[in-house]
Amino acid sequence: MSFMSESRQSGSALIKLSLLAALIGALGGVTAELLHRLIGLVTNLAFYQRVSTEIVSPLGSPLGAGIILIPAIGGLIIGLMARYGSPLVRGHGIPEAMEAVLTKSSRIPPLVAILKPLSAAVSIGSGQPFGAEGPIIQTGAAIGSILGQALHTTASERKVLLACGAAAGLAATFGTPIAAIIFAIELLLFEFRARSFIPLVIASTVATGVHIVLFGSGPVFSVGNADFGSPINLVFFLVLGLISGLVASGLTRLLYIIEDAFHRSKINTYLWPAIGGLFVGIVGYAVPKFVYPGVDVFGPGYDVIGSILNNKFTIGFLVVLLLSKGAVWLVSLGSGTSGGVLAPVFMIGAAIGGIFGLLMQRLFPGMDAAPVAFAMAGMAAVFGSSTRATFAAIIFAFEMTQNYHAILPVMLASVIADAVANALMKNSILTEQLQRKGVMVHHEYEADPLDMIAVSSVMTTDVVSVPQTMTVGQLIEAINQHDPRLTRHQALLIVDDQQQLTGIVTRHDLLKAVREGDLDEPVLEAGNSDLIVAYPDETVRQALIRMMTSNIGRLPVVEHAQPKHIVGYLSRGNIMAAYLKRVQDEGSVDKGWIRYFGAKSKTPI
């Protein structure tokens, strides 16, 4: 395939993906709304025995202590759906989408697109302490994947469509298109390229448009003054970042300790969600009745998050909420039911920030930072460090509140928390499960060094060629005379009388000719005249892909305008040398201007 045909194919593929992304965005937005209504319907039927799609708290249910059993019944239904439907209905939603990208060529079974939202509606509607974001992400991802499977697409194109569906679901839920895009890049795409970024933006924009039509353009959480006051107050947010990183690490470890405990038990795996649901029911009923009135651990708790961000709770309330919500979320999610991590972690992080801010106000009465700023910073820091999606977490904090006054403390607390979590944990709360299955997840991504190197800068310009009239026997005799120009190459270019490229002959070609007794055969006939070439102005990565897809180890380098005029020779050795140089450049320390005071050695700093 020529360089120009590759470019045309890439352009047409991008147009196709962009059109499909718009469709996926619309479907994702509608699906998110349908799931929320379905959750409301299940909640009203289960707790109030009425038909309504409004999201309400189960605490006002007339059932009294009977609400203890409803989450357990919901968990039992989830277990049955996993047993007779698909095991993929269980879990967070996001790790399952990541696994599909990393190990299954972005193929998600169509049944998941039906069962996952149904299981999420049963789980959350029966009072389980989750938000719908994780299931919506997996459902949106399934929609994109199914569309990619129905059409003629490559694995990379399906990955883009899957990510478009996930981002669309997230954007439609929170009305946060930028955060949804970054979230998909950080956790699903692991790349930042035009072929994926453009469709991703289109899908998120369309889905957010659906959100605006249904809910309006206002923020998900309306907050008051979020001013962090004097710049000296950033020290407090630095400390909050340290605490948030420790909390994120603790949550991740506790979740998988609980999950391991379930796995070690002899109870049937399909009963685990019912046991987790029973724990939710007991805590959800007992805490507001016997410990602290008004503490609501049921459901996603969006109203509670909004109240925390508006500083409506006391320290005591927040402490009880933090402990009880954290406990039911960990046990329920560890039991393998259907639910997500975003809303619960948002609430836990906001509570951590709210408690810290109120304590600092008591200890330092003159501090002029608003408690809202601490709650926003805590929410972003705990979420970002636990999921390793720190950039997305920072943007989430601003888009969900549409308040940018706390931008500096939110960024500072988030990156400090991320640094702490990186130091304490190898995996995130989303990837630990995948790691245990042997799926390797790279938390960081960077540009391919070979994408930043031109073929012209690494190719061999001292090209060794042989005339097309030379015979196989003559060439073998020349090689046997240990001519270094001939022996250092595994393949030689073949040229005509005008030094124009006509073919290439490899050592394997020569050995084959010897075995067949064709020593008098011209090298052009023994070699290959149907050439695959590279161009000096393309990247090494493009040339390497051409090598791998054609299963060859070297390419003649020619001009676009003169495809027979040889300008160089690119081998695997050239490519490896270029890559090694980039690796060495990253690790080498150059001498600086300043030396350590009192240092006697010449070690550079």
Same domain, 68 and 195: yes
Same structural domain for residues 232 and 328? yes
Answer whether residue 50 shows pLDDT above 70.
yes
- Region 56-65: mean pLDDT is 92
Summarize pLDDT for 430-443 with one digit per residue, the tens: 888 888 888 877 76
pLDDT at 250: 95
Mean pLDDT of 80-102: 83
Q: Which two tokens stand for residue 535?
A: 């161009």
Check: CB of residue 125 under 8 Å from CB of residue 337.
no
Residue 489 belongs to some domain of the structure: yes
Identify whether residues 380 and 462 lie together within a single domain. Answer: no
pLDDT the model gives residue 518: 79
**Mean confidence (pLDDT) of the chain:** 88
pLDDT at 5 (0 to 100): 45
Q: In whole angstroms, what is the distance from residue 123 CA to residue 277 CA? A: 9
Distance CA 2, CA 546 (A): 10
Query: pLDDT-based confidence at 52, cuts 50/70/90?
Result: very high
Task: Tell me: pLDDT of 286 over 80.
Answer: yes
Cα–Cα nearest to 393, from 374, 378, 406, 372: 378
pLDDT value of residue 3: 43
Is the pLDDT at 2 greater than 50? The verdict is no
Let me know if residue 4 belongs to a domain: no
pLDDT recorded at residue 298: 94
Write out the two tokens for 605: 């700093």
Kind plus residue range of the DSSP H or E element containing 353:
helix 342-363
Which runs of E-coded beta strand occur in 35-125?
none
Torsion sign over Cα 274, 278, 283, 289? positive
Same domain, 297 and 386: yes
Report the pLDDT averaged over residues 193-200: 90
Provide mean pLDDT across the span 384-406.
92
Instruction: Assess if residue 11 is contained within a domain.
Output: no
- On whether residue 379 sits in a domain, the answer given is yes
The residue among 417, 446, 475 that closes a domain is 446
Q: Residue 526 gets which letter from DSSP?
A: H
CB-facing half-sphere around the CA of 12: CA atoms within 13 A: 7
Domain contains 592: no
Compute CA 180 distance to the chain's CA centroid, rounded to the nearest angstrom: 11
Measured CA to CA, the distance from residue 525 to residue 503 in angstroms comes to: 9
State which of 421, 446, 471 marks the end of a domain. Answer: 446
Residue 106 CB contacts under 8 Å (≥ 6 apart), including other chains? 100, 145, 148, 155, 158, 159, 161, 162
Q: Are residues 558 and 533 in the same domain?
A: yes
Altogether, the residues listed in the chain come to a count of 605
161: left (phi over 0), alpha (psi -120 to 50) or beta: alpha
Same domain, 437 and 455: no
Residues 431 and 467 both lie in one domain: no
Predicted confidence (pLDDT) per residue in 101-124, tens digit: 888 888 988 888 888 889 989 999
Nearest to 119 by CA among 147, 142, 99: 142
Pairwise CA distance, residues 241 & 408, whole Å: 12
479 and 440 together in one domain: no
What count of other Cβ atoms lies within 10 Å of the Cβ of residue 51?
8
Is the pLDDT score of 164 beyond 50? yes
CA 160-161-166 angle, to 5 degrees, is 95
Percent of the chain with pLDDT over 70: 96
Please give the model's pTM, rounded to 2 decimal places: 0.83
Weakest mean pLDDT among 148-152, 176-180, 376-380, 588-592: 588-592
31 pLDDT higher than 80: yes
Is residue 8 domain-resident? Answer: no
In terms of domains, do 276 and 347 share one?
yes
Q: Give tens-digit pLDDT for 494-538.
A: 889 888 999 998 888 888 888 888 788 888 888 888 889 999 999
The residue out of 446, 467, 498 marking a domain boundary is 446
Is 407 within a domain?
yes
Alpha helix (H) ranges present in 85-191? Answer: 94-103, 110-125, 133-150, 155-174, 177-184
pLDDT over 90 for what percent of the chain? 51
Q: What is the dihedral of CA 304, 310, 312, 316, to 10 degrees?
A: 70
- CATH number, position 479: 3.10.580.10
CB 24 within 8 A of CB 148: no
Q: Regarding predicted confidence, which is higher, 451 or 316?
A: 316
Q: How confident is the model at residue 605 (pLDDT cuts 50, 70, 90)?
A: very low
Alpha helices in 224-314 (DSSP H): 234-264, 272-286, 302-309
Contacting residues for 231 by C-beta, under 8 A, at least 6 apart? 408
Domain that holds residue 474: 450-587
- What is the C-alpha separation between 124 and 84, in angstroms, rounded? 20
Edge-to-edge order in the sheet of strand 491-495: 465-467, 491-495, 501-506
435 with 489, same domain: the answer is no
Question: Across-strand partners of 493?
Answer: 465, 504
Tell whether 152 and 203 lie within a shared domain.
Answer: yes
Return the ∠ at Cα 311 (arms to 329 and 58), rounded to 5°: 40
Burial 534-568 (b: 16+ CB within 10 A, else e): bbbebbbbbbbebbeeeebebbbbbeeeeebebbb
Domain match, 414 and 473 both? no
Q: Report yes or no on 252 lying in a domain.
A: yes
Q: How confident is the model at residue 415 (pLDDT cuts 50, 70, 90)?
A: very high
222-266 pLDDT, tens per residue?
A: 888 888 889 999 999 999 999 999 999 999 999 999 999 999 998
**Is the C-alpha dihedral spanning 274, 279, 282, 284 positive or negative?**
negative
Structural domains in the chain (count): 2
Q: C-alpha angle with apex 379: 118 to 394, nearest 5 degrees?
A: 95
Ramachandran assignment for 93, one of left (phi > 0), alpha (psi -120 to 50 degrees), beta (any other): left
- The domain that holds 150 is classified in CATH as 1.10.3080.10
pLDDT, residue 488, reads 76
pLDDT in tens, 544-601: 999 998 888 889 999 988 889 999 989 888 899 888 887 777 777 777 777 655 555 4
pLDDT confidence bin for 604, thresholds 50/70/90: very low
Task: Grade residue 462 by pLDDT with cuts at 50, 70 and 90.
Answer: confident
